[in-house]
Structure 1
């Protein structure tokens, strides 16, 4: 039997779209703008790092990062992100969303600047310092995932909640776009001011000393948007759902939301205590009751995010290799270092502008009409179709006259990733779990996704190498090639469709309806189980 909803929570659920909704989207979204910028900008400058620090004097070809170094530079931030998602997700449920929110942002600002200032007397020293700071940068980024999603879900009304959470995540698209644009501007400026003197004679060896500033400036720029939003993030009040249902302070929740919604809200302390003290709502994460109610839900959110991120991040990280394979980016030895950064950034910016960003906003527009399940299933389906459509006739697409078609098809996989599971896997975990475990469960789901990103960053870095060792970059072992990498990604997306069947639909329902926090104790629990303390055998988180 449904219990009467708290007035403060009902007011939030029924509130019309107001200015504070858009303020919350911008404040939380700028964190995601920074997250995406910091995570993806490294792929723009990876080849530049190889040219600067691993070039052999007199060699005709430019230097490249050794496989283990390249994997570390590309993937270490994901390792930090995974750890940060678990830690800050748990901390957000223990200390409150707002108190932890500022910590993650400051960590991102400090480590973005520190990454650009990476020092060392040897190439290994510089790269080791860079990896150290990017790990902690990722740690801060990781905290933003569960906190931003949870805060936005708890502030939103139930009618347009999906669109608001998706809009926060859609700022990731602008972050990816900004990374490419910043790299284009910086590389173009340096190319104009410091032209390589030997460009036409030996482009591979013509890396001007000033090129070292390019990658540092690109990485450091990520601190700016995070720093600009710190003040506003600290002014946000704690969410009413945390204050009422977790901290059990009905008066403070009513006071905070009265100011936000500009309506009079009555504090209902007695009702809060009844809800929070009910044994049916006191189970922990590692309890049988959680397993019974939400076990399959958590399996659904973790598995789909894991599979999605293998495909999504591997696509982003080796798209420069795909562009090279189809001839869209010339061979490295035909251009100097800064020119290469410019061309890679231009290609990735075009993909982001034409497919990535529109895909996110299609999700924002349709998620509360179509529902989370339909969009996620559709996205995985079309990603599977387009991956196989690229992979099976791969040699057809590799022909010069068909390369534009390849790029269009490749762009469509990004479009349906973002008008699909890349957005919905972020939205759903913020809606279906109880308030006291919401941030933790979102952190676990997101961490599973980053485990997939690590597989994509490390595994496909090797897998996408040509099968013939003579055609690989120096130091890279033969891989299975781009074609079979795309086949593997198609299979992964197919399994994403299968596990989507475990994810519940939350469209139009309140958070308490989805989590069961406004229901009476389950009447199906037997008297024997009650006497045995069934509902009390929990392990608190």
Structure 2
């Protein structure tokens, strides 16, 4: 039998969509805009870094980052993100969402600027400094995941909660798009001003000295949206669910939400005391109630991010392999940045961004489970469709078909598990564990991103020595990597069945915080839709 809901929480659940909902989306979403820009802008400039710091006087083989350096530059931010998700997720449940929220943003601002100021006496010292600051940049980004998701879920009403959380996450798409557009504009500006010569003319001078400024500017610009958001984050009140259920101050929660909702809400401290059960994180009771749920959220996010980040970080290599981006020897360094940015922007504009917003539109209509299952299914189908007839796609007459199908994998990643894995952990766990469990789930995803960043690099290495010597970063190895990613997406389908449907339920219903044990010793979570199940307690 369910306990009576606190009035302040019920008021949030049934509140009509108001301006404060959109304000919260923008404030939290700008953090994710910055997150995506900072994480993915590095893929736009890694080849430029190779030309600047590892150049060779050989027109057939422009400078490229050594595999270990490339893996470090691409993957170190994910290592920091993983650590930040665990630490700030835990801290958000201990200190409160608001108190921690500003820390992550300032860390992102400082480290974005510091990354662009990475200097040294030799290439190794520059790359080491860059990796150091990108680790701490990732640490700040990591904190944004559990805090933004938790804050938005605790502010939203139950009818449109999924769309609001997904809208916060959808700002990632605009961050990826902004990174590509800014790289296009800045590289075109540099090309026009410095008139960099074609590579064939002079392999050394093709990388003009000013190109060193280009990658630094692209990296540092990510600090601007984060800095602009800081003031508004500090103005937000603490969420009512943390104040009432964790800090146990229902009077303050009612007062805060009365101002936000512009209605009078009566404080009910006696109900608040009854609504909080005593079991601890990872206790036997927690594992019986939420163990399978946590396994489901961590495993699906892990599998999704192996595929998603592999595709994002190394799409330039895949496009080079099929000939959509011309060989490096035909371009100077700045032209190469322009070509890579243009290709990635086109993918973001046509598939990544629409995928996010399809999720926003449909998540509260067809549910989280259906969208996640559908996304993994089509990602699997399209990966195999690219991998099995791979030799067919490498022919120049078939490149457009390859790009279209490859774009569809991004679309269904975002109109699928990339969004739902972010949404669901913010809805199904108790308030006092919500930020921590979301952080654990997100950290599992970043572990997958690390596997993708480091593993794909070696899996996709060119096995054709003649092509490798000519400077191509990938060849026949791309086929193997696409096959592996297809299998990973199929595993995501299977593990999705561990994740409960949270559509249309209050957070307290989903977490069991207002549920009593029934006569059989089970908590009836009663999720609607395709994934209805009872979780046994004994």
TM-score, reference length from structure 2:
0.95
Q: In the aligned structure 2, how far is the partner of 1:213 from the partner of 1:497?
A: 44
Structure 2 residue aligned with 1:351, among 339, 347, 350? 347
For 2:5, the equivalent position in structure 1 comes to: 5
Asked whether the 8 Å contact 1:54–1:65 carries over to 2, the reply is yes
The whole-number CA distance in structure 2 between the counterparts of 1:58 and 1:18 is: 61
Q: Give 1:506 shift.
A: 0.3
CA distance in 2, matches of 1:519, 1:264: 27
- Deviation track 1:364-390 (CA, whole Å, cap 9, x = no partner) reads 000000100000000000000000111
Query: Could you list the per-position Cα deviations for residues 301-352 of structure 1 after superposition, in whole angstroms to 9, with x for gaps in the alignment?
Result: 0000000000000001110011111111110011100000000000000000
Q: Are 2:348 and 1:328 aligned?
A: no
Q: 1:465, 1:96 → 2: CA distance?
A: 45
Whether 2:234 is the aligned partner of 1:238: answer no
Please give the per-residue CA displacement for 1:410-465, whole angstroms capped at 9, x wherever unaligned.
Answer: 00000000000000000000000000000000000000000000000000011112
Structure 1, residues 394-415: CA drift from partner, whole Å, max 9, x if none?
A: 1111111111011000000000
Aligned CA-pair RMSD: 1.6
Correspondence 1:88 to 2:88: yes
Match runs of 1:76-475 below 5 Å: 76-197=76-197, 199-202=199-202, 205-276=205-276, 281-472=277-468
Q: Given the superposition, is the C-alpha separation of residues 440 and 387 from structure 1 closer, same or farther in structure 2, using an over 3 Å criterion?
A: same
Query: Once structures 1 and 2 are overlaid, which stretch shifts more, 353-362 or 197-206?
Result: 197-206
Give distance in 1, aligned partners of 2:52 and 2:109: 26
Residue pair 1:284, 1:290 contacting (<8 A) in 2 also: yes
C-alpha distance in structure 2 between counterparts of 1:190 and 1:247, whole Å: 54
Cα offset for 1:466? Answer: 1.9
2:282, 2:293 → 1: CA distance? Answer: 14
Query: Is 1:203–1:335's contact at 8 Å kept on the other side of the alignment?
Result: no
Tell me the equivalent position of 2:20.
20
CA distance in 2, matches of 1:197, 1:268: 73
Q: 1:525: how far off?
A: 4.8
CA drift of 1:57 comes to 4.1
Q: Alpha-carbon deviations, 1:464-488, whole Å to 9, x = none?
A: 1222234326899998611111111
Contact 1:85–1:444, Cα closer than 8 Å, also in 2: yes
Residue 134 of structure 1 and its aligned partner are, at CA, apart by: 0.0
Range that drifts further, 472-481 or 13-22: 472-481
- Per the alignment, residue 535 of structure 2 pairs with none
What are the superposed Cα offsets for residues 228-259 of structure 1, whole Å, 9 maximum, x if unpaired? 00000000000000000000001110000000
CA deviation after TM superposition for structure 1 residue 60, in Å: 4.7
* Compared CA separation, residues 97 and 503, structure 1 to 2 (3 A): same
SS in 2 for 1:184: helix
User: Is structure 2 residue 28 aligned with structure 1 residue 32?
Assistant: no
Structure 1 residue aligned with 2:41: 41
Structure 1 residues 500 and 198 mapped into 2: Cα distance closer, same or farther (>3 Å)?
closer
Task: Quote the Cα distance in structure 2 between the aligned partners of 1:355 and 1:33.
Answer: 17
For the residue of structure 2 that corresponds to 1:506, the secondary structure is coil
TM-score, structure 1 as length reference? 0.94
How many residue pairs get matched? 522
Contact 1:382 1:413 survives alignment (8 Å): yes
Give unmatched runs, 5+ long, in structure 1: 527-541
Task: Give the Cα separation in 2 of the matches to 1:166 and 1:305.
Answer: 15
